[in-house]
Amino acid sequence: MADDFELSPGGANHQKPSGDEDRMTTAQGAPVADDQNWLTAGPRGPQLLEDHIAREKIFHFDHERIPERVVHARGYGVHGHFELTEAIPEFSSAAIFNEVGVKTPTFTRFSTVAGNKGSPDLARDVRGFATKFYTKQGNWDLVGNNIPVFFIQDAIKFPDLIHAAKPAPDRGFPQAQTAHDNFWDFIGLSPEAMHMAMWIMSDRTIPRSFRFMEGFGVHSFRLVNAEGKSHFVKFHWKPKLGMQSVIWNEALKLNGMDPDFHRRDMWDAIDAGDYPQWDLGLQIFDEEFAEQFEFDVLDATKIIPEEQVPVKIVGTLTLDANVRNFFAETEQVAFCTQNIVPGIDFSDDPLLQGRNFSYLDTQLKRLGGPNFTHIPINAPKCPVRHFQQDGHMAMTNPQGRANYEPNSWGEGTGEDRGPRACPAEGFESYPAEVAGRKRRVRSETFADHYSQARQFYVSQTPVEQTHMANAFTFELSKVERPDIRARMVGHLRHIDAGLAQRVADGLGMAELPDKVPLAREPITDLPESPALSILKNGPGSFKGRKLGIYIAKGAEKAQVEALKRAAGNAGAMVEIIAPHVGGAELSDGSRMEADEKIDGGPSVAYDAVAVLMSEESARRYNSDKPSIDFVNDAFAHAKFVAYVPAVQPLFQAAGVWDWMDDGFFDLGEDGAADAFIEACGKLRFWDRESVKQD
Ligand code: HDE
């Protein structure tokens, strides 16, 4: 804030207690003598409304909630900073893109879209990836998703999309899922959604962690340099830890086991000092490229393949601090796509333009007034000076007489004349030519809805393609109306015949439904884009992942320690699971404490598991359902498993002993712990999945 603005002493009543300042007061600052008993007339008499202390407490409590976001209600915010590694003055005059090494503070909020605030983290859904950069030139908000395209091309369709995805208005369910009639009805009637439909049915919508997802600004924006020259740009976030998703069956189980799986994962990683990082990448292109590109760069249902326009890495985002107060920071943060700074500008993408209207409007509703920029999480960290004043909850208020301009206060008058516009460094819109008839019409250049949907599908590995076919089958099986199912398969036939057939078979259709009429013949030979696959872009290391070691009485201490060491060397976390949270007695008689009791630490919570116990224990737990599920699920979810031969009775009960493959590591063998952790860098033993499918 500028020095000229007097900061109110707001928040004084929330100071941390120190010395005798720990005495409780009302919100008005009056000391409280008793916070446990309402004022009554006699010990058993009626309560008195006169009790201003109790009334204030209850009044405040009654107003604790603010409206949740209409979309992206469930989210998790983290502080961090962005550091530029390569200046790009030739493309943008923005300070954030020109000062190498300067750390710009940031706040990032990850979210799901459809579910309400209390919905589970592992819903199959798009993830929001919104970052507020507190730059020297004001706040820049990059309000993106973990998927580079969107469902619709024009913002006017957004309320319908969201209504269709959210619980049906009569019954109020289903919550946080798209596996229902209304959603697939809307999608099936909106051919423009087909590319996005492929992405949401891929493993991108069930990420293992926010830390292992990409992020995208989605729209084409502009970068404008000091000479006023403009280039288009698409923004990308590339996770340093590589990408990783879970399997659908795991997602279902994780939602029951730990609905906070993603937020807990982020909190724990940051708490442990394992700060996640993303590179910021730019796909920069000019009008000439836009002219010759097969699709319209203003159409948010299209990507520009990285193989066609490479992603130029210019800096790194590091998330290094958890919030101190969830409500104050994560809940009150107000992202606005229209928050841009000089050197960045909008394109005419009709979805972006609609968003630029919507976000400001939504903040007014959620935060209750126009002064939401005074809330610390939203306040810029650079000087702010303007003549806006008053309104609900005004916290930073100008002083003096001048609250308008032009004015003739200032020098010699003893009054501050206030701020003035600064043409030299102020924001100027890129002077794009604008012409055309005022009409409600969709551009012809937006008419191809299937070509990139196909390109996405053919760029996936066979394992990923199978997951997609299964996801379509799962979701459409929840659709009650056969005609809605059939329409979707009719769309898939334009995308890939094999996929359409697999889904039709999965749905038990006697014959393939008719193709949906086409607006434009799709291009069927777009080249594969390996960048679109998660499995082709894995981390190749176990860093940042979690190993679960299930121990019971008789486990060999040296083997547990060897595993812990190997995992630690790889930068992975380890949790010990045991039949009791108090831990287990090891073979040398010592005791090892557990982080989780077996039914609170199922194998779905880990990226790889080990099972270590004596044969006697393995016999004891071979009828224990959580122990059996631990082993059986690890196998079914294609995880790498380390074991000792003594676990045979348990593994047999889990039905995996006779099926152990190269994804299993016998810790009795020399160097097995290291070999196991190295293999874990592949994250999953996918051969097991394909074997099962054959
Ligand atoms: Fe949003 N979106 N959106 N959206 N969106 C909101 O703003 C909207 C769209 C995205 O963590 C709302 O503060 C319209 C695309 C994220 O706080 C609201 C349209 C993309 C977040 C809104 C879109 C997004 C939001 C609800 C169609 C990816 C959460 C509360 C044109 C590029 C930000 C709020 C956070 C939130 C409107 C489409 C991403 C209602 C009208 C495309 C990450 O203003």
**pLDDT value for 307:** 95
Ligand 1 centroid to Cα of residue 56, in Å, is 35
**Which residues are known catalytic residues?**
72, 145
- Ligand 1: which of 163, 339, 355, 363 to mutate, judged by most atoms within 8 Å of the beta carbon? 355
Better-scored residue on pLDDT, 693 or 624 = 624
Which of these three, 535, 552, 570, is where a domain ends? 535
- Closest listed residue to residue 516, CA positions, set 489, 540, 490: 490
Model confidence over 168-224: pLDDT tens digits?
999 999 999 999 999 999 999 999 999 999 999 999 999 999 999 999 999 999 999
- CA–centroid distance, 551 to ligand 1, in Å, is 45
CA of 369 to the centre of ligand 1 (A): 19
Beta bridge partners of 231: 223
Give yes or no: residues 493 and 612 share one domain. Answer: no
On whether residue 28 sits in a domain, the answer given is no
Q: For 587-613, write each residue's pLDDT tens digit.
A: 999 999 999 999 999 999 999 999 999
Distance, CA 207 to ligand 1 centroid (Å)? 20
Count of other CB atoms within 10 angstroms of residue 392: 11
Of the pLDDT bands very low, low, confident and very high (cuts 50, 70, 90), residue 694 is: very low
Tell me, yes or no, whether 175 and 68 share the same domain.
Answer: yes
Is the Cβ–Cβ distance between 474 and 247 less than 8 Å?
A: no
Task: Supply the pLDDT for residue 21.
Answer: 75
pLDDT of the residue at 399: 87
Domain count, the chain: 3
Same domain membership, residue 338 and residue 223: yes
pLDDT digits over 40-59, tens only? 999 999 999 999 999 999 99
- Does residue 109 fall inside a structural domain? yes
What is the token pair recorded at 402? Answer: 């001048």
585 CB-contact burial (10 Å; exposed 0-12 / middle 13-18 / buried 19+): middle
Whether residue 368 is found in the same domain as residue 470: no
Q: Is 630's pLDDT higher than 70?
A: yes
Out of 352, 374, 396, a domain closes at 374
Whether 149 and 82 share a structural domain? yes
Q: How confident is the model at residue 398 (pLDDT cuts 50, 70, 90)?
A: confident
Question: How do residues 79-120 score in pLDDT, each as one tens digit?
Answer: 999 999 999 999 999 999 999 999 999 999 999 999 999 999
Digit-coded pLDDT (tens) for 421-436 = 999 999 999 999 999 9
Q: Are residues 522 and 550 in the same domain?
A: no
Provide the pLDDT for residue 20: 60
Question: Which domain range does residue 361 map to?
Answer: 52-374
Handedness of CA 455, 456, 459, 464 (dihedral sign): negative
Residue 3 lies in a domain: no
Give the contacts of 166 (CB within 8 A, at least 6 positions apart).
114
| Paired strand residues for 105 | 81
Residue 682 maps to which CATH number?
A: 3.40.50.880
pLDDT in tens, 109-157: 999 999 999 999 999 999 999 999 999 999 999 999 999 999 999 999 9
pTM: 0.96
- Closest listed residue to residue 245, CA positions, set 280, 214, 276: 214
Determine whether the shortest distance from the Cβ of 362 to ligand 1 is under 6 A. Answer: yes
Mutate to test the pocket of ligand 1, among 69, 71, 302 (most ligand atoms within 8 A of CB): 71
Mean pLDDT calculated for residue range 340-363: 97
